[in-house]
Structure 1
Amino acid sequence: MSTSTATPAPQAPARPVTGGNALAGTRTLLRFALRRDRIRLPVWVLALFLGTLMTAQNYKTLYPDAEDRANVAETMDSPAGLAMSGPRHYLDDYNFGAMLAHQMIGFMAVLVGLMSVLIITRHTRAEEETGRAELVRSTVVGRHAHLASALTVAVLANLALALLLAVGLSGLGMDGIDASGSVLYGATHAAVGIVFAAVAAVTVQITAHARGASGMALAVIGLAYVLRAAGDSGDNAALSWLSPIGWAQRTYPYVDDNWLPLLLCLALAVACAAAGFVLSTRRDVGAGLRPEKLGSPVASNTLSTPLGFALRLHRGMLIGFGSGLFLMGVMYGSILGDAESMLEDIDQIQEALEQVGGATITESFASIVMVVLAVVAAVYVTMAALRPRAEETAGRAEPLLATGLSRSRWVGSHLAVAMGGGTFVLLLAGLGFGISGAASTGDAGLLWELLGAALAYAPALWVCVGVAVVLFGWFPRATSAAWIVPVYAFVVGYLGQILQFPDWMNNLSPLGHVPQLPAADMSWTPLLLLTLIAAGLVWLGLLGFRRRDLETK
């Protein structure tokens, strides 16, 4: 007995799908991105908005008379002063509006650019690096949806900031701050932020790593600031026209209200965004346009140790912060010789400097600047101390800890780099500040004073590391709270001295217990106590990490 089965006729191979909507799913991804950033974005926007409003209100307190503002304009009319602020044209009629635009647009442009860059990298390259983008793209989502939604979020955030600035500043009722100028002032912030978001749309296509993409975009922001500063402080004003920050400043809000330079921002943003979309079609998901370098087939002896491997991971960020702090120190040091003439007619600043102490205004001013440099260094150590959390959530910690490497040695290697690296960037900041300050004042001994003043903040930075590791060890989902320490330190350490906050607020910050050298006398007791507190926090954090479960993928 035999049976026969029907053999189905062979089917023609399916034709490849062509065309399709490259933006499919953009709306859904946009809603998801806004949902993820429902806390992050409002904090960014409100902080930038409130910081501007507080600064404007402080101008009214610090410079109540036209004569006070004229004195400030005279002291700002120097190469160093213009490099730190903006074009000389603002000084012609230095009312509150001109003062705000002159001194704040360049500074705020860097912060707005930072916000925009982090938005783009978070919702594009970081999604690819963790593998989530590939999973999402396997559904009905177009190839351009992630980038389009990220750019939309950045545009919305910048427009929200512009609207708040326009409404908030126009309602202050201050001399020279009118409604039309406030609208333009807010628009300059939005324009610069959108430009740097579009720049990040290009950098995320180049490298396969979110940190690398952010670093390249931040380097562009730094270059834009340097070009602007060089053009405003020197005779070659054409350099400022090579910078989006220079374009924003040359709108002259509250002075000329010139909207035309914003067209350059719009054109550059459109060009960079279009380039980002085009470049995204030239690479695979998860890959970058820049090919990965082939490493040595055998790891070096340094990379075979936890500390050496951690140092390799932190190398780029350490170099970037070290270079940036050195340049910041040089810029602040260049105006140290003019500190007395710049501040002698400002009563509120004089009172703040008297509270700091010091034999001269130069020493007191240097001690306040040192707080700013220390806060930037605190940002670095916080980022470095949170690197183990990023390694854990990305799934890279699990295979390492599956070997004979203990948890304490693994985390300890990152903490050693964070603490040692923090001390190193402080050294570079003090070195740049000291070299430039000694040159501007003619006092060679100031180099060693400022170098020692910078290193005195090292124990306070170690406390910042300790706070981060405690959160990582016991409350890993709340590690973002570690950023409260450097932000609070800046508010009470820098603004608090001018706004005369009560002493107990300054005592809550680890940086508030550091002797304010070179104005104050050296005291070793608080530095020793900060070191002991940092050691206790690190021990407590490691204890928590050894006891909790590892987040796995």
Structure 2
Amino acid sequence: MSTVTTAAKSPAPARTVTGGNALAGTRTLIRFALRRDRVRLPVWLLALTIGTIATAGNFQTLYASTEQRASVVRTMDSPAGLAMTGPRHYLTDYNFGSMMGHQMLGFMAVMVGLMSVLIIARHTRAEEETGRAELVRSTVVGRHAHLAAALTVAVLANLVLALLLAFGLGGAGIEGVDTGGSLLYGFSHAAIGIVFAAVAAVTVQFTAHARSASGMALAVIGLAYVLRASGDAGGDGTVSWLSPIGWVQRTYVYVDDRWWPLLLCLALAVVCGGAAFALSTRRDVGAGLRTERLGRPHASDALTRPFGFALRLHRGMLFGFGAGLFLMGAMYGSILGDAEDMLKNIDQIQEALQRVGGASIAESFASMVMIVLSVVASVYVVMAALRPRAEETAGRAEPLLATGLSRNRWVGSHLAVAMLGGTLLLVLAGLGIGIAGAASTGDGGLVLKLTGGAIAYAPALWVTVGVAVALFGWFPRASTVAWIVPVYAFVVGYLGELLQFPSWMANLSPFGHVPQLPAADMSWPPLLILTALAVALTLLGLAGFRRRDLETK
């Protein structure tokens, strides 16, 4: 008997994976991001476009005569006026086009930057924070796909905005607004938006939380605006060259139409984008480059209570809005001394100020500005009031409510922070405009008057919180509808005064029932009714939240 033995084959050596396509899946993620933002992006783009075109049309009405435009030039040619608007060179030929570049470009740069930052944070850090990015990365998706997709969506959004603005303004038939200048105006927005998108791509690498990353990027936007403002107010504009906002304003659109400053924006965006990709390789998915600080061995007494814990969660956003509103109020207050000269030849604004009333033009103008400050504060209270919804959808509410913590105490802690924090923001805004206004007019009494006028809007903020919690309690998936309240309040409260909207439109907004102090007399019944309405809406929302099921993960 013979046996034949077959030698077993040696296993093939394992193939060493030396690399891979770091951008694999990017196109799929781009389509997915556009699908998710199919409502958000069109709303952003249409709002920015329509607001710009409407403003250009209003300039024709407000400054119809050469004398009116000459009066604006004299008023704007001051440190406060230039800090609020842009470089002095625009004033050399102040037609309707140069007005757009001078008065709108810096403000719109902030809004476009905000849009870009939110796009990046939503599609990168927020995905990691919720754990979805890790699941997606476990498939055939490259390391850089999420960041590349987010940047691509942000670039596409800014390019579409550029084209909408270019064609919208170029075809409006406004004197001084030509096709070439409109194209530059549109792409100036795209350039600054792409810069801040790249900045956000860097900030999302440092922190593990989307809110912190957005806050860091927004702080950069604020710093850029402050550098631009201080440089233009200083006269020579040297400091403005440290700001990308200063770069786009120095295109001198509709005046000189210089394209080359946009190359500086492109270069900065490339550098920041490259740095973001490089930094992303030095951290784990879901983690940030910044080392998390070790907490205390034992929680403080405040953190063991719902209100103290909610305040800790809202602390960063509250500080940011507080600093921003104080500075915003101070900037408006710095021009109160020049308000009479600035507005004396503008018939529509004079009519609006007469409807407001007041002993002086400065007080009437401050009363109109107070609406803007209160609407900005309402943005904070909506964000704070909707924080329980974010905690619920992220799965963090369920473990808390599984303990002895009641639903009312949990939601009520966030609502208390929203209401008290919103009131504090009004105080800071009133102090900012009051202190700067007193310095510019020499009237020290404006500090108390304007601070009191700002606090009067607190019941309107509370109603805004009530609307948000009522939607959260009964219709949680529609809770974002609460954003209609601040948007509508700005449109009818500020623009409605200039465009003479019918009075019933203002009555639909809680801000329309607040006495416009210090120009108007104090009236307590509307404030008491608004407070009662806020209480009723809050109780209604809490009742709805107790009755419905909690969204679980």
Structure 1 residues 486-497: aligned runs within 5 Å:
486-497=486-497
Residues 62-109 of structure 1: per-residue CA shift (max 9 Å, x gap): 111222111111111110000000000000010000011100000000
Alignment correspondent of 1:322: 322
Equivalent position amino acid for 2:60 in 1: K
What secondary structure, in the 3-state scheme, does the structure 1 residue paired with 2:101 have? helix
2: CA distance between counterparts of 1:364 and 1:111? Answer: 27
Equivalent position amino acid for 1:486 in 2: P
Alignment correspondent of 1:349: 349
What secondary structure, in the 3-state scheme, does the structure 2 residue paired with 1:105 have? helix
What secondary structure, in the 3-state scheme, does the structure 1 residue paired with 2:383 have? helix
Alignment correspondent of 1:212: 212
2: CA distance between counterparts of 1:254 and 1:78? Answer: 22
Equivalent position amino acid for 1:259 in 2: W
Residues 403-433 of structure 1: per-residue CA shift (max 9 Å, x gap): 0000010000000000000001111111111
2: CA distance between counterparts of 1:72 and 1:298? Answer: 60
Q: Is it true that 1:550 corresponds to 2:515 in the alignment?
A: no
Alignment correspondent of 2:3: none
1: CA distance between counterparts of 2:552 and 2:275? Answer: 37
Alignment correspondent of 1:3: none
What secondary structure, in the 3-state scheme, does the structure 2 residue paired with 1:331 have? helix
Structure 1 residues 121-140: aligned runs within 5 Å:
121-140=121-140
What secondary structure, in the 3-state scheme, does the structure 1 residue paired with 2:519 have? coil
2: CA distance between counterparts of 1:11 and 1:543? Answer: 67
2: CA distance between counterparts of 1:417 and 1:13? Answer: 62
2: CA distance between counterparts of 1:438 and 1:501? Answer: 32
Higher mean C-alpha displacement, 335-344 vs 65-74: 65-74
Shift of 1:235: 3.3
Structure 1 residues 387-398: aligned runs within 5 Å:
387-398=387-398
Equivalent position amino acid for 1:132 in 2: R
2: CA distance between counterparts of 1:213 and 1:409? Answer: 29
2: CA distance between counterparts of 1:10 and 1:433? Answer: 82
2: CA distance between counterparts of 1:180 and 1:121? Answer: 34
Alignment correspondent of 1:482: 482
RMSD: 1.3
1: CA distance between counterparts of 2:10 and 2:211? Answer: 51
1: CA distance between counterparts of 2:17 and 2:405? Answer: 48
1: CA distance between counterparts of 2:74 and 2:307? Answer: 52
Higher mean C-alpha displacement, 519-528 vs 230-239: 230-239
- Normalization by structure 1: what TM-score? 0.98
Alignment correspondent of 2:77: 77
Q: Is it true that 1:459 corresponds to 2:459 in the alignment?
A: yes
Alignment correspondent of 1:44: 44
Alignment correspondent of 2:186: 186
Residues 444-487 of structure 1: per-residue CA shift (max 9 Å, x gap): 11110001001000000000000000111111111111100000
Q: Is it true that 1:203 corresponds to 2:207 in the alignment?
A: no
2: CA distance between counterparts of 1:318 and 1:18? Answer: 47
Structure 1 residues 271-350: aligned runs within 5 Å:
271-350=271-350
Higher mean C-alpha displacement, 61-70 vs 464-473: 61-70
Alignment correspondent of 1:168: 168
Shift of 1:18: 2.5
Q: Do the aligned partners of residues 253 and 91 (structure 1) sit closer, same or farther apart at CA in structure 2, a change above 3 Å counting?
A: same
Shift of 1:175: 1.2
Alignment correspondent of 2:142: 142
Equivalent position amino acid for 1:143 in 2: R
Alignment correspondent of 1:404: 404
Equivalent position amino acid for 1:449 in 2: K
Shift of 1:238: 1.3
Q: Is it true that 1:262 corresponds to 2:262 in the alignment?
A: yes
Higher mean C-alpha displacement, 40-49 vs 433-442: 433-442
Alignment correspondent of 1:386: 386
1: CA distance between counterparts of 2:9 and 2:389? Answer: 56
Q: Do the aligned partners of residues 13 and 125 (structure 1) sit closer, same or farther apart at CA in structure 2, a change above 3 Å counting?
A: farther
Alignment correspondent of 2:448: 448
What secondary structure, in the 3-state scheme, does the structure 2 residue paired with 1:205 have? coil
2: CA distance between counterparts of 1:127 and 1:486? Answer: 28
Shift of 1:9: 8.7
Q: Is it true that 1:237 corresponds to 2:240 in the alignment?
A: no
2: CA distance between counterparts of 1:479 and 1:492? Answer: 22
2: CA distance between counterparts of 1:342 and 1:238? Answer: 27
2: CA distance between counterparts of 1:10 and 1:538? Answer: 73
What secondary structure, in the 3-state scheme, does the structure 1 residue paired with 2:156 have? helix
Alignment correspondent of 1:34: 34
Equivalent position amino acid for 1:286 in 2: G
Shift of 1:236: 4.4
Shift of 1:12: 7.4
Residues 507-546 of structure 1: per-residue CA shift (max 9 Å, x gap): 0000000000000000010000000000000000001111
Q: Do the aligned partners of residues 10 and 476 (structure 1) sit closer, same or farther apart at CA in structure 2, a change above 3 Å counting?
A: farther
2: CA distance between counterparts of 1:375 and 1:538? Answer: 20
Alignment correspondent of 1:431: 431
State percent identity of aligned pairs: 78
2: CA distance between counterparts of 1:169 and 1:535? Answer: 46
Equivalent position amino acid for 1:411 in 2: V
1: CA distance between counterparts of 2:188 and 2:235? Answer: 25
Residues 214-245 of structure 1: per-residue CA shift (max 9 Å, x gap): 00000000000000000001134111101010
Alignment correspondent of 1:21: 21
2: CA distance between counterparts of 1:133 and 1:18? Answer: 23
Equivalent position amino acid for 1:17 in 2: V
Q: Runs of 4 or more off by more than 6 Å in structure 1? A: none
Alignment correspondent of 2:519: 519
Shift of 1:273: 0.4
2: CA distance between counterparts of 1:339 and 1:172? Answer: 30
2: CA distance between counterparts of 1:139 and 1:458? Answer: 50
2: CA distance between counterparts of 1:9 and 1:402? Answer: 59
2: CA distance between counterparts of 1:282 and 1:60? Answer: 53
**Which runs of no fewer than 5 residues in structure 1 stay unpaired?**
1-5
What secondary structure, in the 3-state scheme, does the structure 1 residue paired with 2:204 have? helix
Q: Do the aligned partners of residues 494 and 30 (structure 1) sit closer, same or farther apart at CA in structure 2, a change above 3 Å counting?
A: same
Alignment correspondent of 1:533: 533
1: CA distance between counterparts of 2:339 and 2:74? Answer: 13
What secondary structure, in the 3-state scheme, does the structure 2 residue paired with 1:154 have? helix
**Which runs of no fewer than 5 residues in structure 2 stay unpaired?**
1-5
Residues 36-82 of structure 1: per-residue CA shift (max 9 Å, x gap): 00000000000000000000000111111222111111111110000
2: CA distance between counterparts of 1:18 and 1:128? Answer: 26
2: CA distance between counterparts of 1:391 and 1:308? Answer: 16
Shift of 1:15: 4.9
2: CA distance between counterparts of 1:127 and 1:531? Answer: 38
What secondary structure, in the 3-state scheme, does the structure 2 residue paired with 1:206 have? coil
Structure 1 residues 97-108: aligned runs within 5 Å:
97-108=97-108
What secondary structure, in the 3-state scheme, does the structure 1 residue paired with 2:252 have? coil
What secondary structure, in the 3-state scheme, does the structure 1 residue paired with 2:288 have? coil
1: CA distance between counterparts of 2:84 and 2:13? Answer: 66
